[in-house]
């Protein structure tokens, strides 16, 4: 009887923990979308120069192997984005961005359980944006597609969220520019009059 009660309690505790984790993940995403639906801003508050050492420090603190795997995957993504461009030896610049799907594949390479489901991608996105173990990045969501790009945030005093939002709204918009008949006639008249001179 004690075993049944223990198993029932464990099941409720596990379900409660999973429910709590999902609530936390949803809160992270909602706070990340505070300024724009197209730009997810990381809740990580450390500087980019400290980000890698903070992740490495947290890895040594955690005893759970799955959490260590997640941190190693995030470190690999950060190191990939911090690589210097190999073709310009005179002006070494960091790459600074990575396609979301490529980052997810790299991250999954460090996980003992391979899961490429929609939920796994959502959990990965939350891990990137996490306030304690996340990366100093923004995730740019390309409207009209399922594409996302992860972009480093070099300095917390510079806020690129509005720039990214502007770019997405103006260059990836689905709306087509429509001209009235009168506007087309004016353009044609001006072209004709230019040709006559």
Instruction: Answer yes or no: pTM beyond 0.85.
Output: no
**Helix or strand run (H / E) with residue 29:** helix 2-32
* The pLDDT of residue 84: 78
Numbers of helices and strands, H then E, in the chain: 7, 4
The DSSP code sequence of 53-82 is HHHHHHHHH---HHHHHHHHHHHHHHHHHT
Q: β-strands 39-41, 137-141: how paired?
A: antiparallel
Q: Which of 63, 58, 94 is nearest to 74 (CA)?
A: 58
Residue where the block lists tokens 């070099």: 154
- For the chain, residues with pLDDT lower than 50 are 1-13, 175-176, 194-195, 197
Domain ranges of the chain: 40-172
Residue where the block lists tokens 């505790």: 13
* The pLDDT of residue 154: 74
Instruction: Provide CB contacts within 8 A for 166, sequence distance 6+.
Output: none
* The pLDDT of residue 78: 97
How far apart (Å, rounded) are the C-alpha atoms in residues 145 and 1? 54
* The pLDDT of residue 107: 98
* The pLDDT of residue 8: 45
DSSP 3-state of 41: strand
How far apart (Å, rounded) are the C-alpha atoms in residues 174 and 152? 27
């Amino acid at each position: 009887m004690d075993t049944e009660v223990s198993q029932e309690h464990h099941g409720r505790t596990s379900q409660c923990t999973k429910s709590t984790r999902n609530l936390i993940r949803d809160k992270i995403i909602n706070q990340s979308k505070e300024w724009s639906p197209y730009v997810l801003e990381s809740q990580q508050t450390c500087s980019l120069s400290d980000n890698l050492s903070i992740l490495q420090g947290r890895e040594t603190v955690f005893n759970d192997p799955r959490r260590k795997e997640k941190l190693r995957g995030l470190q690999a993504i950060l190191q990939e984005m911090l690589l210097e461009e190999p073709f310009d030896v005179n002006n070494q610049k960091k790459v600074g961005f990575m396609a979301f799907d490529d980052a997810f594949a790299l991250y999954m390479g460090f996980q003992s359980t391979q899961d490429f489901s929609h939920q796994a991608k959502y959990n990965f996105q939350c891990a990137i944006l996490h306030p304690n173990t996340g990366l100093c990045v923004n995730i740019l969501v390309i409207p009209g597609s399922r594409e996302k790009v992860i972009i480093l945030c070099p300095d917390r005093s510079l806020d690129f969220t509005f720039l990214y939002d502007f770019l997405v709204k103006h260059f990836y918009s689905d709306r087509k520019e429509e001209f009235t008949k009168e506007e087309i006639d004016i353009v044609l008249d001006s072209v004709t009059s230019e040709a006559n001179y």
